[in-house]
Amino acid sequence: MAKKELHIRITERRMYKLQLYAAQADKTMTQVVEELLDTLPTPRKENTTVS
């Protein structure tokens, strides 16, 4: 599967929280974000718009 990049703006507090969590879980920040995204419900096709 092709990889895409995601650039987001978050507060320093959230960035620090993500870095700490990833380090404590021995995971990369990418892995933490991907795992969180995997917990989201799958949206219904008729209501999605992807750009």
Torsion of the alpha carbons at 46, 37, 14 and 7, rounded to the nearest 10: -70
pLDDT recorded at residue 25: 98
pLDDT tens, N- to C-terminus, the chain (51 residues)? 899 999 999 999 999 999 999 999 999 999 999 999 999 999 888 765 666
pLDDT recorded at residue 44: 86
Phi-psi region of 26 (alpha: psi -120 to 50; beta: other; left: phi over 0): left
pLDDT recorded at residue 45: 81
